[in-house]
Chain A
């Protein structure tokens, strides 16, 4: 049975790694639902967070196939209950819409969103949450004229006691192995 998995990948910071990660999914005709990438807490190591729908058997093999790529340090997969995750969404609405009744303001309060910027022309609202939450706010705001909407990929931390990559790198450091140039 297919279910949602969050895959986290740690790699060297080198040209073309994203292609290496995504091509493993492409080969299996698995669509990427969400993708976030940036430098991890460790200097020079990048972290990818990828959300996909797959079976447990598929994801196990996929993660090993990603990790097999030379420039990938480690890859892990987590089911939804093994992580805490968040996404961020931005909504641009005409500022005028805030003055036509208090509905927009009510929605901002109700959804725990906040106003990021306000100009005479437009207002930008920010909401963090899961996709269904940011989507719901979009649906509710849309009648007031959302002119732009964008949602980020997922960021996630797992519920394990220790970050597994850190212990791996610490082990390497203990053995006197220098980090990558």
Chain B
């Protein structure tokens, strides 16, 4: 973006006027600065704070500033955790704005960052950011899990769960099977939800992925999508309706995270946790699940339904939950920063006196398991769904 230019992503989505207005409402109060997990990595200088990024973007909008390479780098040093959005006095959609600015930097050729380019290339070739074979997307499917040919509910695997963390997906599929809820699965036809691509500003790739998935869902006659991944569910829930409309495609699908399905089943008594698990757990609210989708109660309700589980809360929880450091492409391109943020959260979890740290997000899980090992922490790690499954008859 050069002088007198705009954030063209907002133009494309018809939000330019709203953006201009939102930037003007910044009170410069700085509430966003102390809660930002990446601001301290800028040496304490003010320019790394969200309010300074807004100040500079406003200058750009007014034709008085430029999106230099250093500003681009600062915009990529954000985990998109939305703590800044949560405390903003005037509800500025800061993370949306960072993503739009990142998209602009990609157009200019100064973004994304090297690690993001790598997974961007993988997505182009393999439809997933890990460079895993397309044909093996369904390798997580256990022999006893039999998706239906046609069903109103689609199980969306997502790249991380499909290739890297099958237990989250297997648990969900097992539970749906156990209670007799039919679900379909697109297997190798499913492509990346686009979250890592969209968050890092690689819009053209993201449009291809979204378009492909939307067409697939419509062809399959899907009414509801369920996924165990907080990143996928955030993207499918919030970004797909906007982009489907923009791409001229039909979107009439409800998106839910598996935690919502589990709670429904528990309330209907279709799931009965009976086996006692003697654990003191502390729950970490994933940013993409909590602040992004307002899912705070469901994971707690699941944990509280399990006999023997004692839930001990951390000081920073629910909307004030701290970030694990993995989001927004930070773990890929700034691994040291991500590790330090994750370590800090693990230490907070240790202070609760719990014996197990639990969460419901594959990215948080990756960060924390690495931190627990590196810190030689006495805490164990478990997924909420894993404990639920263990406690069932």
Q: Do A and B bind each other?
A: no
